[in-house]
């Protein structure tokens, strides 16, 4: 089990007050807070090593290059990639998916080829495919959801077939919390020679990830959702696949030999990293991985399962509460979306903020899913390593207050 009190002491922002109340940060699916170990690593780069990597023979440049490449190697180990060269640093998970939609998608897809997505994709794993489909004539197909918020696997088996070129699917829904059972989907896609991109933005921070065991071809995620700094995303790609892909962004570092009219491109992964990379943040991300590994990803998961089970129980006691996603905490991540009575999520969010409780209220970059759920938006509480039961209690207490403001007859049965 995690020692939440000790962990909290590592996060300077958690000492802060919001409108005179303790900050209860439950917006972790959007971005997480940073432990001082990560902040210090960032400061250390700038105070001791800073230089443009890959371009210099001097000491600072050598040090920065080594630290940057060590971060890459660490990411590779963290997801059990075969080699460091399978890790491309991008600006965020969104840029990582765009890289695939562009460099793999535009080069590969032909009219009527099928791109299979699901009805729970984040805009980041939907809009790039809309654009690539429009450019190539490929067609989008969507795996629908069952009423409990899980993927309809029967439908998936009907949808994935010889026309399928890529299946792009999230490992965990940022709205429903659903953890998808990816292996059967991936095996199915591979049977038909399709590749599989996994959107790991919500899963990699919370669940131990092994790309070799998963058999996925691509995996995208963001450092800022796992204690790391902003401005760093990761695209993992199988080496053979990356190696066959043309560049996306072009400029310095991604080239091997430039002439006026044409260029030869560099090896993977540098072929995909044009210009000065965000090395300082990538190096600080290395420290975030250290932090998570010290906690242990299995302990992180266990903690969140327990906290989610507790939260589901407490919220179920609140009258008029409509909770989305699978009811079983072991089948979902620590992300709980709900609609409270007839109170608009935006209003709930504002009142909760007054209680110091930071939740997200909105469409969570999943507008079409909101339509399926038949709500304009939801309130979403999401957990991480520094959250405890006291945070869940603060949430439910504040919801009771919200009901009072709006004259909604909310009662907690046991609260």
Ligand X SMILES: Cc1ncc(COP(=O)(O)O)c(C=O)c1O
> Which residues bind to another protein, rule: CB under 8 A?
19, 54-57, 61-62, 65-66, 255-257, 264, 266-267, 270, 343-347, 350-351, 354-355, 361-363, 367, 370, 376-377, 397-398, 401, 404-407
SS3 357: strand
For residues 246-268, one letter each, b for 16 or more C-beta atoms within 10 angstroms of the residue's C-beta and e for the rest, the string is ebbbeeebbbeeeeeeeeebbeb
Dist CA 59 CA 51 (whole Å): 9
Residue 291 DSSP class: H
Span 77-96, contacts to a copy of itself by CB under 8 A: 91-95
* Residue 173 makes contact with a copy of itself by CB under 8 A: no
The footprint of a copy of itself on residues 125-154 (CB under 8 A) is: 125-128, 130-131, 134, 140, 142
Contacts of 117 (CB under 8 A, 6+ apart): 125, 126, 129, 140, 141, 142, 143, 167, 168, 169
Cβ 66 to another protein shortest distance, Å? 7
Q: Which of 286, 348, 294 is nearest to 321 (CA)?
A: 348
Binds a copy of itself by CB under 8 A, chosen from 72, 74, 206, 224: 224
Least spacing, CB of residue 348 vs ligand X, in Å: 20
Q: At 7, phi and psi to the nearest 5?
A: -60, -45
Q: Which of 365, 376, 397, 408 is catalytic?
A: 365
The smaller minimum CB distance to another protein, of residues 34 and 74, is found at: 74
**Of 130 and 400, which has the nearer Cβ to a copy of itself?**
130
Q: Is 365 a catalytic residue?
A: yes
Pick the closer one to another protein by CB: 47 or 374.
374
Residue closest to 385 by CA, chosen among 324, 298, 286: 298
Contact string (CB under 8 A) for a copy of itself, positions 264-303, x = contact: ----------xxxxxxxx----------------------
Interacting partner of 231 out of ligand X, a copy of itself, another protein, none (Cβ under 5 to 8 A depending on kind) = a copy of itself
How far apart CA 57 and CA 75 sit, in angstroms, is 25
- For the CB of residue 132, give the shortest distance to ligand X in the complex, in Å: 16
Which residues in the 3-32 window bind a copy of itself by CB under 8 A?
12-13, 16, 18-19, 23, 25, 27, 30-31
Where helices occur in 168-231 by DSSP H, the ranges are 182-191, 211-214
CA angle, 335 then 338 then 344, to 5°: 130
- Round to whole Å and give the CA distance between 318 and 340: 9
- What are the catalytic residues? 365
């Amino acid at each position: 089990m995690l020692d939440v009190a000790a962990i909290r002491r590592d996060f300077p922002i958690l000492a802060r007050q919001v409108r005179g109340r303790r900050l209860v940060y439950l917006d972790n699916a959007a971005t997480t807070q940073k432990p001082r170990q990560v902040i210090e690593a960032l400061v250390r780069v700038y105070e001791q090593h800073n230089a443009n990597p890959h371009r210099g023979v001097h000491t600072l440049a050598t040090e920065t290059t080594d630290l940057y490449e060590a971060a890459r190697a660490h990411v590779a180990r963290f997801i059990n990639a075969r080699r460091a060269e399978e890790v491309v640093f991008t600006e965020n998970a969104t840029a990582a998916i765009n890289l695939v939609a562009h460099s793999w998608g535009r080069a590969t897809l032909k009219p009527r080829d099928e791109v299979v997505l699901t009805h729970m994709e984040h805009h980041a794993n939907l809009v790039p495919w809309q654009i690539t489909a429009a450019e190539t004539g490929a067609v989008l197909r969507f795996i629908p959801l069952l009423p409990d918020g899980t993927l309809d696997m029967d439908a998936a088996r009907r949808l994935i077939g010889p026309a399928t070129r890529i299946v792009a699917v999230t490992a965990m829904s940022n709205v429903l919390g659903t953890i998808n059972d990816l292996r059967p989907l991936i095996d199915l896609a591979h049977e038909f020679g399709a590749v599989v991109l996994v959107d790991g933005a919500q899963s990699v921070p919370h669940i131990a990830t092994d790309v070799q065991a998963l058999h996925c071809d691509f995996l995208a995620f963001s450092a800022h959702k796992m204690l790391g700094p902003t401005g760093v995303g990761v695209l993992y790609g199988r080496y053979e696949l990356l190696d066959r892909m043309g560049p996306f962004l072009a400029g310095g570092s991604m080239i091997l030999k430039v002439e006026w009219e044409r260029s030869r491109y560099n090896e993977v992964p540098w072929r995909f990293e044009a210009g000065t990379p965000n090395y300082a943040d990538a190096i600080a991300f290395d420290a975030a991985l250290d932090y998570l590994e010290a906690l242990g990803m299995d302990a992180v998961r266990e903690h969140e399962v327990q906290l989610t089970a507790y939260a589901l129980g407490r919220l179920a006691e609140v009258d008029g509460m409509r909770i989305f996603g699978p009811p079983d905490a072991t089948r979902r991540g620590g992300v709980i979306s709900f609609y409270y009575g007839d109170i608009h999520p935006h209003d709930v969010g504002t009142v909760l903020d007054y209680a110091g409780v930071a939740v997200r209220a909105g469409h969570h970059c999943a507008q079409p899913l909101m339509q399926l759920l038949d709500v304009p938006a939801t309130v979403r509480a999401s957990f991480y390593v520094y959250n405890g039961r006291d945070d869940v209690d603060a949430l439910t207490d504040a919801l009771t207050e919200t009901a009072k403001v709006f004259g909604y007859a909310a009662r907690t049965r046991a609260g």
